[in-house]
Structure 1
């Protein structure tokens, strides 16, 4: 079906109970999967959306004006299904313009235009950087750290990472499986109560960090002036269920994921972590994955766990020549491969693929309140 440019996919964010589809026209729809009872997508009644973030027990919407609307059990206990403006709850009036949002399993992180980070939601595992005994949860944003350039977490994670303007990395939250990369000596500390500097991280520019339930994956770009930038993946945590891409090894510091699948002329375009699975898209049109696969979320035709990287057969892509415009989004038990061209693109059609139950399938966007988005 022909689709106008404004209806092209811009982003997908998916978690355990929900999946949000954001379109180029600034509108979004959400697909709920409560108690495994499938429902049709419904329109989100918020305009001018810039970014969406879904966690297992919350959703967050960032508008182009810098406001954040969120809902969830730990965001608005009186009415968890109602979106409220959480950025307006920040006490500092000069700090209410939000630049970025990231969702954890039950917490939301806000990066302001002044480079301050606020957290809201569950803090039972100290994922907001405070003593969990004194503060189990908060429905008002609390200041976590100043002078921050990037924030990282995961839709199934009780951990968070913050990167300051000096490229120093800090982490807090759940660490029972060593997923904060603090080293062997810190592995037994289940909760890291305050933001702690992560030492011995790989050299290079940190592009992204994504957190699963018991592992974390870091994307580093080598910016050697004598060669083209090369991106590499590093992981830490437990591999028993999720895989770290390194045989059956556990590692409590970020170490490189090495595989013959990452050839010299390959570069990593995109990657995503769910609760247990990791999917990677390379410049040579390779789809690589490893980790949990009980629901077929690796899209390789079986439900076997793969602890080391495997190559997954891509579906027939309509826009194969524009592989850099494809993106991946992994949720708790499902994964998406979708085409998101730049805003200036002339393409008039969209493509979405869902990895689930042994095969790829297309997704339609007929909402329960009538019509397409």
Structure 2
């Protein structure tokens, strides 16, 4: 059961895929021709393990399987054959760390969270996004240990910054801070080669952090406030992806009359320099850069403050909790994907590996749900 809206090419949101049936089968990739190349065969082999998550950055793609293996490709992952998927989790030196719980992609690097709550990085370290100085690593095609005792990793498809959250909600950051997108304050230098703990984080549970080229947005949940979820931004306001009209060197709340007391933020996503928000009342809100129509306004005017987007009638809008947003580099998607069933996105996943502007997609199969 899929419903996908596409934003871009100077058009208002349009429905590009709408299927009435619930799909519960395990993923099987389909191709337009019978002559499969080696990479397509690799993807089919990977899919036999049940794909848990797919991520894509500017220079890499990675697949996490239900068995905890990670297959990745890219010029800074496998320089000899950048179009070939390789099992990067098997390259981790410590065999006890080779079961991966989660993967996150930055622009030029991939981060792996192991079952032991350790974080490994692979790819480029040219902006110190792997938390080492350049004298130690500039590029690495083998995962290197970045930090231990981590519960979540946050980055972005065009980002060279990374945030790492400990189990007791301590937040650390390193990498590119040229525009203040790490939220470390005005006095911090442009590049952070070592993990630094962020201060002055608003009280509450950190749900998500996403970074674009020049800004980052954090979602915090607090059961004692109304609405219980709030967004905070930091970085450069150049195209107003911050939702405010000035730079923010620390995470600062995004305020708007569109965020009502009886409404709550359901989902959000950050692209290159634009941001989309979906609320529990079905409001789609966007702001930031819009030269490709990625805000869904039907024009190319940048939006300095959050605005509500007019949507076509959605077939499944009575179940808004199953809608999700994904921002690519200069486009955006709103799609229906119930977490209890596998969404039939095979063709879209194939396109994801061919087009860098596509965005992160994750899902669970029926078998995983039952387990």
TM-score range, shorter chain: 0.7 to 0.9
Give SS of 1:184's match: coil
Give SS of 2:151's match: strand
CA distance in 1, matches of 2:209, 2:30: 25
Change (3 A) 1:50 1:158: same
Check if 1:317 corresponds to 2:319: no
> How much does 1:24 deviate?
6.1
Give SS of 2:96's match: helix
> How much does 1:232 deviate?
0.2
Give matches, 1:250-265, under 5 Å: 250-265=247-262
Query: Normalized against structure 1, the TM-score is what?
Result: 0.81
Change (3 A) 1:348 1:75: closer
Change (3 A) 1:138 1:348: closer
> How much does 1:287 deviate?
0.2
Give SS of 2:178's match: coil
Give matches, 1:208-219, under 5 Å: 208-219=208-219
Give SS of 2:90's match: helix
Match of 2:328 among 324, 327, 331: 331
For residues 65-116 of structure 1, the C-alpha deviation after alignment (integer angstroms, 9 at most, x for no partner) is 0000000010000011110000000011011000000000010000000000
Aligned to 1:284: 281
CA distance in 2, matches of 1:91, 1:312: 49
> How much does 1:315 deviate?
2.1
Change (3 A) 1:338 1:209: same
Equivalent residues of 2:214, 2:235 under 8 A apart: yes
The structure with more strand, counted as a fraction of residues: 1
Give matches, 1:1-373, under 5 Å: 25-27=25-27, 44-45=43-44, 46-47=46-47, 48-186=50-188, 189-224=189-224, 230-246=228-244, 248-343=245-340
Change (3 A) 1:242 1:120: farther
Structure 2 stretches of 5 or more lacking a match?
Answer: 7-22, 32-39, 349-371
CA distance in 2, matches of 1:119, 1:223: 34
Aligned length: 318
The structure with more helix, counted as a fraction of residues: 2
CA RMSD of aligned residues (A): 2.5
Give SS of 1:322's match: helix
> How much does 1:152 deviate?
0.3
CA distance in 1, matches of 2:84, 2:345: 32
Query: Normalized against structure 2, the TM-score is what?
Result: 0.81
Equivalent residues of 1:214, 1:242 under 8 A apart: no
Equivalent residues of 2:263, 2:280 under 8 A apart: yes
CA distance in 2, matches of 1:270, 1:28: 28
Change (3 A) 1:181 1:348: closer
> How much does 1:28 deviate?
7.1
